[in-house]
Amino acid sequence: VSALHDESLAPALDAMALPGILIGYRVIAPDDAGALTDEETSSLPSRLPDALRASGAARIVARELLARMGVPTTALPKGPSGAPAWPSDVVGSLAHDDRVAVATVARRTTMATLGIDVEPAGPLPDDLLDMVATARERLVLHRQPAVGRLLFAAKEAVYKAINPLDGIFLEFHDIEVDLAGSRATTRNGRTLILNVANAAHVVVLARLA
Ligand SMILES: CC(C)(COP(=O)(O)OP(=O)(O)OC[C@H]1O[C@@H](n2cnc3c(N)ncnc32)[C@H](O)[C@@H]1OP(=O)(O)O)[C@@H](O)C(=O)NCCC(=O)NCCS
């Protein structure tokens, strides 16, 4: 957890602690683009200051977590799929919203893949909910705004875990989320476990069941 503190998110992430999986966050700071290596900067498609700051913040968090695992400091450039290139014995995932960046890492011997997403808490607009939720999910949702946001974050986290592992593209409706059961299933037959931190920002971690 970084020095830039979010009082609601820190305890929510602590409560999500899982053996062998490190999760951290950082409130994005004005100078965070400065943390990007030249290799990382040239790998990122956007030159917009806000995007660079967010990507820098996420990599600050990831490098802190890797250091805690005893992994030497390394660049984490974006690969062709959009996913960051992790050291060969590590799996991980990054995400950012407008204010906060998060990262998760684990040894590849502990986890085959990880996905994470962060979103500002708050209702998901109705048109987005229609795009994200399957018919079955909508039955459970009853259009509860807070749940819509969780559903969205869960699907993004699942995509980030499955795309690097299986090399497939997933649409929102290719992922079926059971929030009550903390599970998601994908079109290609993967089942994932979901862990949720529900605070001023919503964080969902996805890992293989
Ligand atoms: C991957 C994706 C979901 C990220 O969502 P986003 O809202 O743009 O951004 P987030 O802040 O949540 O995450 C960004 C991080 O995701 C990671 N990421 C990007 N593409 C990735 C991929 N294919 N696999 C794993 N991680 C990926 C990167 O680390 C990125 O951070 P960086 O730009 O600093 O390197 C999105 O960019 C994408 O590729 N979507 C296509 C698939 C999709 O949307 N399907 C429907 C939802 S399942």
Q: How far apart are CA 87 and CA 76, in angstroms?
A: 8
Q: For the residues 184-188, what does the mean pLDDT come to? A: 98
% of the chain exceeding 90 in pLDDT: 86
83 CB near ligand 1 (under 6 Å): yes
pLDDT tier at 44 (50, 70, 90 boundaries)?
Answer: very high
CA distances in angstroms from 86 to 19, 46, 107, listed in the order given? 20, 20, 11
Residue nearest to atom 12 of ligand 1 (CA): 95
Q: Is 94 helix (H, G, I), strand (E, B) or coil?
A: strand
Is 2's pLDDT higher than 50?
no
Structure-block tokens of residue 147: 């749940």
Residue nearest to atom 26 of ligand 1 (CA): 83
Is 141's pLDDT higher than 90?
no
Best of 160, 187, 192 for a ligand 1 pocket test (most atoms within 8 Å of beta carbon): 160
171 CB near ligand 1 (under 6 Å): yes
Q: For the residues 189-205, what does the mean pLDDT come to? A: 96
Radius of gyration of the chain (CA): 16
Is 182's pLDDT higher than 80?
yes
Cβ proximity of 24 and 61 under 8 Å: yes
Residue nearest to atom 1 of ligand 1 (CA): 160
Predicted local distance difference test score (pLDDT) of residue 97: 97
Separation of CA 160 and ligand 1 centre (Å): 6
**pTM of structure:** 0.96
Q: How far apart are CA 44 and CA 23, in angstroms?
A: 23
Cβ of 51: how many Cβ atoms within 10 Å?
14
Mean residue pLDDT across the chain? 94
Q: How far apart are CA 117 and CA 206, in angstroms?
A: 9
Is 143's pLDDT higher than 80?
no
pLDDT tens for residues 62-108?
A: 999 999 999 999 999 999 999 999 999 999 999 999 999 999 999 99
End-to-end CA distance of the chain: 26
Q: Which of 15, 169, 165, 202 is nearest to 191 (CA)?
A: 165
**H-helix or E-strand containing 202?**
strand 201-208
Predicted local distance difference test score (pLDDT) of residue 1: 42
List, as own/partner pairs, every contact residues 45-51 make where C-beta atoms lie below 8 angstroms and the sequence separation is at least 24, other chains included: 45/78, 50/98
Structure-block tokens of residue 199: 């605070």
46 CB near ligand 1 (under 6 Å): no
